[in-house]
Amino acid sequence: MGREFWAGDGFLAILCTGPRNEGGVNVESRWFMSFFKSFLVLICLTFGFASVAAAQEDIESLRPLVNALAKGKFKETEKQIGALAATGNSAVAPALEALGDGDLYARKSDGVVFIAKKAGKGYALTDPLTLEDAGEVGRRAVSKIKVNNGLRRVIRSALGSLTLQSADPEVRKTAAEAIFKAKDPDGIEALDGALAKETDDGVRLVMEQARAAAVLASDMSLEVKTAAIEVLETMGNRDALSVIVGVQNASEGELKQVADDAVRRIKKNLAMWDNAQNIWYGLSLGSVLLLAAIGLAITFGVMGVINMAHGEMVMIGAYVTFVVQEIIRSSAPWLFEYSLLIALPLAFIVSGSIGIAIERGIIRWLYGRPLETLLATWGLSLMLQQAVRSIFGPTNQEVGNPDWMSGAFELGQLTITYNRMWIIVFSLLVFAGLMLVLKKTPFGLFTRAVTQNRRMAASMGIRTPWIDAFTFGLGSGIAGIAGVALSQIDNVSPNLGQGYIIDSFMVVVFGGVGNLWGTLVGAMTLGVVNKFLEPYAGAVLGKIFVLVFIILFIQKRPRGLFALKGRAVES
Amino acid sequence: MMTSFLFRTLDAKAGVFIAILLAVIVAVPCFNLLVPETSSFHLPTYAVTLMGKYMTYALLALSVDLVWGFCGILSLGHGAFFALGGYAMGMYLMRQIGTRGVYGDPILPDFMVFLNWKELPWYWYGFDMFWFAAIMVMLVPGVLAFVFGWFAFRSRVTGVYLSIITQALTYALLLAFFRNDMGFGGNNGLTDFKDILGFDVQADTTRAGLFATSGLAVLICFLICRAITKSKLGKVLVAVRDAESRTRFLGYRVEHYKLFVWTISAMMAGIAGALYVPQVGIINPGEFAPANSIETVIWVAVGGRGTLVGAVIGAILVNFAKTWFTAALPDLWLFALGGLFVAVTLFLPKGIIGIAGDLMKKRKSTPSKETNDTSGPSATKTPDPEPAE
Amino acid sequence: MSRPNSLLYLDGVSVSFDGFKALNDLSMVIGPGEMRAIIGPNGAGKTTMMDVITGKTKPDTGEVYFNGVVDLTGEDEASIAELGIGRKFQKPTVFESHTIWDNLELALKGPRGPFATLFHRLSAEEEARINELLKVIRLGEKAHELAENLSHGQKQWLEIGMLLAQDPKLLLVDEPAAGMTDAETAETAELLKDIAKTHAVVVVEHDMTFIRALGVKVTCLAEGSVLAEGSLDYVSANERVVEVYLGR
């Protein structure tokens, strides 16, 4: 799929990117509201193509019925409309639509019916069934098929039932949704007809909701409207709320009471979903923090080395992703969908090797002098930033999202974007993988041995310098992997890492040094707390509150949430 | 009593330093104001301002050295105290603008008029008076340091943990001062100053005066720091730096000592900031950036941690190099600065002053072989790292 | 001995780290002016006991009283030191970048507040006292050398000197003979015996010759509680002590 996307094949590209736009339905709501009729026709056109092509024969069999529209008075026309609707073939929709708009004309010479638009001095004709161009004629060669308001209503319901009873459930659903948006009482009849025949439960639900919205806009009895409000209440989202609020404002007495209750309940329900959304955003932020901090949890937490260049390892990981994508774009576009998977091991290796080089070159001379380590690695971070700036320039680099990272889906009232979801999943996978490495592999055993008692480990034949180097490399490599993930949601610039370094330290310190679980809980807690503060305090103030909270927290529990106790820590 | 307290610890080396400093304080304004511009000995005003800026940096370095060099508290947030002092001075300078601002409001600074504020926020009251601003320059950083330190030292947050939360402190302030609602000019900060104590801030004489004031501030703070570090209190501080828990078991309340020196240091940083602002003509939230604070630490490390003269020399040298690099080879400056961090920590743990001291010792000891032999092994020995607390 | 006339009184003290019981219902009483030796295998809780007494570690349960009336569990290290309990660490801990003189000056009894020390000037008496201590610990000629240049044994002595400078009522001395030659060990024992004439002393040691040279009441700790208490001969005859500590 991705291959066509990058091959630049316009049509398929549109199909591919199609799902991405569905998240933005609301944007189009105004458009829906005003012209639901035209929309139905559009659906017929879009989804009708296939049937048109497949059943050319059928269409020709419809032509006598269409031509019959031109005959007789309103009474007869009404019957003909009924007959057309009864075919259940959506190919007749354009003709009906044109009839309602007064654009349907009969050719005087042979009585054949066309859709006609004024063009110059005459009319441009279009075949009402095949929608092919049928040339131009003079003004006097055709005569308009007249309609009145009564007919227009008949046409509308016929159109509604045509789409509402289409063979394709998608068409039926979209038609029902359009009625919901328009809140058109005229749609009730058509919906009732469609509901009687509906077999798909999903579509039935949408139809019932649409009917309820339409009922509330009509002048029907109190009982019916109360029932409609109940239907909408079960729907429970903002659309339903806005319909009921409309009722609430427009009505008095008992109905208002019912609406008031429903609004209150829906709002309560929505507040719950808002909280769920906040938690989701919080977890999403938490997973980003986790990714940024987890490598640090190894270098700082397990080894006790303050690596201020940790953020730059993340940044380098992001740049590796950028380079991989650039190469893929220029020489192997079909690989784009896999670009992140290719970048992951590369980023790990690049950042990891730089980490090992740093450990061998600088940090090993500074063990036992944490403050000096801090300064030296800060200097290193300045150099790495400047190096990247010199090579790639100071501006943001564009890193693309593969399709599987794009778009969103709905869960209840939640909108869940794929990139956020994958990053949460990914961060947990990295966490689990790291746990496995540290707990279940010989390397992990050696690492733990060296960090607990260096001298003893050395005397048991463990090459402690190499364990140090590789542990540091592991922490840096994981930072590189984090960079691949963060390149999907953040700007890739030389300053990328700096934005994360303070947050990462906060997470590790808050969670408790030397404890990976603490890092997990710390990251998620800080993420969620941050997102819950944001609506009240704003993003910046929320962040300040979190920082102040951590500053106070560290004073209360200097060793973080999950502190190690005992003599080993004291000495 | 105060004078004897300040001067009783002076020795020859400190005397030389003070003499040089005094000479510079007198000479620079003279070469600027008295020597005619046509003479090749004339010092342009921009150079005077630049040196004045270096002096304020030297003062900031002194304050960092007092806590880091002598008490082992590595502050990565001293830029916050510097900036707070700067903002206090900036607020005074803003109030002095009066009706000369773009909007001509007699009370409200331009940015408040721009934000449609109707009256002055309460915390801007009093800053039209110099004495009030001068007190605030020390009081605001001092109080913040006291409160922060009271919490941190009492609960025994030490080492890198303390460094990290000082960094978080300045980061939080950075974010806060970026907000327009804070009432400190947001992103743009405070600028467009007109005059200070009635003197035009752009005038050559004012510039020279500010330079001399900064130099004198360095001198006075140097004397205060020296008196502190040479007193018994100073010995306790070094004891805390080297073996904190041992000091506790001797009966010293370590947190009180740290709090004392931390607060003094923050107030000195505030003074440095206050002198910095009228010379550069602007104070904005960028001064709170954690990177600035860390850079200050490296000035101290370059000069020689734990030596007051070193802090001053380091600040001036590194900033001179920065001025030169950013003009001549702007792309290389960060490489040079980064390399400096690495090189100093790896190869120059005692800084320039330490190296100079070692060289002097060597020259002295070469003629008499015996003394060299007895102290041989210990001279190369690096001090035991303090066990992580 | 009852609490009111004891100097140090520990009753039912327990401390645990993550489930590991470092002290388990430990009870012990030291009388005024008494000297006590404490022995026991590694992990018996000797150092933790000292941590509890000096306020570094808070006990989970149990009572710790000084002078019969002062509850030590509510005090921090500095105030416990001010009360008159001095401590020498297992690993000699002196201020390496100070001279020996300054080390002693810092330890010398006197006001401990920051403002008191800021304006402090050495009095003639204090100077005399420091000179006296220098003689006791035999570091007179090295008075103005940095402590980092001392040998291991000299550091041990300097630390004992600092303890004396504090003039405490009770000295806690952790392994004073570690890393010393036999001659030095014997001298240290003599020094401690001298000190014990005027101070109460608790000595933790592994060196049995050293303990024998002290010739005082011995307490054997194991797994965080008292195993046996009495004269050295009595304790070393105890079956359990032999089993867990001395070996057969």
pLDDT, tens digit (0-9, with 9 covering 90-100), for A46-64: 554 444 444 555 677 777 7
Q: Which of A446, A476, A502 is the last residue of a domain?
A: A502
Whether A567 sits inside 8 A of C18 (CB atoms) is no
The CA–CA distances, whole Å, from A25 to A22, A77, A174, A391 equal 6, 37, 12, 42
Residue B55 structure tokens: 């002096």
A268 and chain C in contact, CB less than 8 A:
no
CA distance C176 to C188: 7
A97 in a structural domain: yes
CA distance A4 to B142: 65
Which of chain B's residues have a Cβ under 8 Å away from the Cβ of A540? 175-176, 178-179
pLDDT attached to residue B387: 37
**Interface with C, mutate which of B250, B307, B374 (most C CBs under 10 A):** B250
Tokens 């005569």 correspond to what residue? A143
Nearest chain B Cα to A387, which residue? B335
Which of chain B's residues have a Cβ under 8 Å away from the Cβ of C93? 243, 245-246
Chain segment B135-189, per-residue pLDDT in tens: 999 999 999 999 999 988 988 888 888 898 899 899 989 989 998 888 899 999 9
**A515: closest CA of chain C, how far (Å):** 14
User: Is the pLDDT reported for residue C75 higher than 50?
Assistant: yes
pLDDT attached to residue A20: 34
The 3-state DSSP class for residue C60 equals: coil
User: Is the pLDDT reported for residue A88 higher than 70?
Assistant: no
Whether C97 sits inside 8 A of B238 (CB atoms) is yes
Which of chain A's residues have a Cβ under 8 Å away from the Cβ of C58? none
Whether C87 sits inside 8 A of B249 (CB atoms) is yes
The CA–CA distances, whole Å, from A511 to A91, B140, B159 equal 65, 32, 18
Residue A455 structure tokens: 């001298």
Which of chain A's residues have a Cβ under 8 Å away from the Cβ of C22? 567
Chain segment A238-293, per-residue pLDDT in tens: 777 877 777 777 777 777 788 888 888 888 888 888 888 888 888 988 998 998 89
User: Is the pLDDT reported for residue A30 higher than 60?
Assistant: no
**How much is the average pLDDT of C35-44?**
87
Same domain, A297 and A232: no
B388 and chain A in contact, CB less than 8 A:
yes
Chain segment A493-504, per-residue pLDDT in tens: 998 888 888 888
Nearest chain A Cα to C48, which residue? A567
Whether A544 sits inside 8 A of B175 (CB atoms) is yes
pLDDT attached to residue C191: 86
Query: How many domains does the structure of chain A reveal?
Result: 2
**How much is the average pLDDT of A170-193?**
76
CA distance B326 to A380: 19
B373 and chain C in contact, CB less than 8 A:
no
Whether B298 sits inside 8 A of A379 (CB atoms) is yes
| 3-state SS record for A354-417 | HHHHHHHHCHHHHCCCHHHHHHHHHHHHHHHHHHHHHHHCCCCECCCCCHHHCCEEEECCEEEE
B291 in a structural domain: yes
Segment-wise mean pLDDT, segments of 10 residues, chain B, 389 residues: 71 89 93 88 91 96 96 94 96 91 88 89 92 96 95 85 89 91 90 90 92 96 94 94 91 94 97 96 93 93 92 95 91 90 89 85 60 34 36
Q: By residue range, what is the domain housing residue B40? A: 11-369
How much of chain A exceeds pLDDT 90, in percent? Answer: 17
Q: Strand C8-17 to strand A414-417: parallel, antiparallel, or no bridges (unpaired)? A: unpaired
Nearest chain C Cα to B237, which residue? C114
Query: How many domains does the structure of chain B reveal?
Result: 1
CB within 8 A of A539, min separation 6: which ones? none
**Interface with A, mutate which of B74, B165, B170, B346 (most A CBs under 10 A):** B165
pLDDT attached to residue B273: 97
**Interface with C, mutate which of B235, B249, B386 (most C CBs under 10 A):** B249
Compare CB distances from A566 to C20, C47, C56 and report the shortest one's residue. C20
Which of chain A's residues have a Cβ under 8 Å away from the Cβ of B298? 375, 379
Whether C106 sits inside 8 A of B250 (CB atoms) is yes
H or E element that contains A348: helix A339-361
Which residues of A have a CB under 8 Å from any CB of B? 304, 306, 362, 365-366, 368-376, 378-383, 385-387, 390, 502, 505-506, 509, 540-541, 543-544, 547-548, 550-552, 554-556, 558, 571
pLDDT attached to residue B2: 65
Same domain, A235 and A99: yes
Name beta bridge partners: C220.
C39, C228
pLDDT attached to residue B365: 65
pLDDT band (50, 70, 90) for residue C207: confident
**Which CATH number do you get for residue B194?**
1.10.3470
Same domain, A239 and A334: no
Residue B311 structure tokens: 């802090």
CA distance A269 to A283: 21
Same domain, A428 and A497: yes
Whether A375 sits inside 8 A of B298 (CB atoms) is yes
> Chain C neighbours among B 184-243 (CB < 8 Å)?
228, 231-233, 235-236, 238-239, 242-243
User: Is the pLDDT reported for residue A8 higher than 70?
Assistant: no
pLDDT attached to residue A52: 45
B380 in a structural domain: no
Chain segment A104-148, per-residue pLDDT in tens: 888 887 878 888 888 777 888 888 877 788 788 887 788 888 778
The order of strands in the sheet holding A104-107 is A133-137, A122-126, A113-119, A104-107, A142-144
Compare CB distances from C95 to B233, B238, B256 and report the shortest one's residue. B238
CA distance C45 to C57: 12
Whether B151 sits inside 8 A of A381 (CB atoms) is no
**A393: closest CA of chain B, how far (Å):** 11
Whether B168 sits inside 8 A of A502 (CB atoms) is yes
Which of chain A's residues have a Cβ under 8 Å away from the Cβ of C47? 567
Whether B175 sits inside 8 A of A540 (CB atoms) is yes
Against chain B, the chains showing at least 3 CB pairs within 8 Å are A, C
A566 and chain C in contact, CB less than 8 A:
yes
Same domain, A333 and A460: yes
CA distance A394 to A496: 11
Size of interface A-B (CB pairs under 8 A): 117
Task: Give the residue ranges of DSSP H helices in chain B.
Answer: 2-7, 12-33, 45-71, 78-97, 110-114, 130-154, 159-178, 204-230, 232-242, 244-249, 254-280, 290-303, 308-328, 333-347, 351-365, 369-374, 376-380
pLDDT attached to residue A538: 76
Same domain, A36 and A104: yes
**B224: closest CA of chain C, how far (Å):** 11
Nearest to A163 by CA among A39, A59, A250: A39
Q: Which residue has the higher pLDDT, C146 or A12?
A: C146
CA distance A12 to A413: 30
Whether C114 sits inside 8 A of B257 (CB atoms) is yes
Q: Which of A251, A285, A318 is the last residue of a domain?
A: A251
Averaged pLDDT of chain C: 88
pLDDT band (50, 70, 90) for residue C248: low
B273 in a structural domain: yes
Which of chain A's residues have a Cβ under 8 Å away from the Cβ of B341? 375-376, 378-380, 382
Of the listed ranges A5-19, A493-507, B341-355, C150-164, the least confidently predicted one is A5-19
The CA–CA distances, whole Å, from B227 to A54, A79, A348, B9, B66 equal 99, 110, 53, 6, 11
Same domain, A247 and A341: no
**C18: closest CA of chain A, how far (Å):** 6
**How much is the average pLDDT of A445-464?**
82
A519 in a structural domain: no
Same domain, A362 and A469: yes
pLDDT band (50, 70, 90) for residue A324: very high
Residue B319 structure tokens: 């900033």
**In the 8-state DSSP scheme, what is residue A301?**
I
Which of chain B's residues have a Cβ under 8 Å away from the Cβ of C95? 238-239, 242-243, 246-247
Size of interface A-C (CB pairs under 8 A): 11
Task: Give the residue ranges of DSSP H helices in chain C.
Answer: 46-53, 77-83, 100-107, 114-118, 124-136, 152-166, 182-196, 208-214, 232-237, 239-241
Nearest chain B Cα to C108, which residue? B250
How much of chain A exceeds pLDDT 70, in percent? Answer: 87
CA distance A554 to C133: 42
Size of interface B-C (CB pairs under 8 A): 85
Which of chain A's residues have a Cβ under 8 Å away from the Cβ of B154? 555
Which of chain A's residues have a Cβ under 8 Å away from the Cβ of C18? 564-566
**B187: closest CA of chain A, how far (Å):** 13
Q: By residue range, what is the domain housing residue A166? A: 25-109+142-251
Chain segment A337-363, per-residue pLDDT in tens: 888 999 999 999 999 999 999 999 999
B381 and chain C in contact, CB less than 8 A:
yes
Q: Which of A484, A502, A520 is the last residue of a domain?
A: A502
**In the 8-state DSSP scheme, what is residue C99?**
B
**Interface with C, mutate which of A564, A569, A570, A571 (most C CBs under 10 A):** A570
- Count other Cβ atoms within 10 Å, centred on residue A427: 27
Say if CB B222 and CB B25 are below 8 A apart: no
Compare CB distances from A565 to C17, C48, C56 and report the shortest one's residue. C17
**How much is the average pLDDT of A303-309?**
85
Which of chain C's residues have a Cβ under 8 Å away from the Cβ of B375? 149
User: Is the pLDDT reported for residue A506 higher than 70?
Assistant: yes
CA distance A28 to A30: 6
CA distance A484 to A482: 5
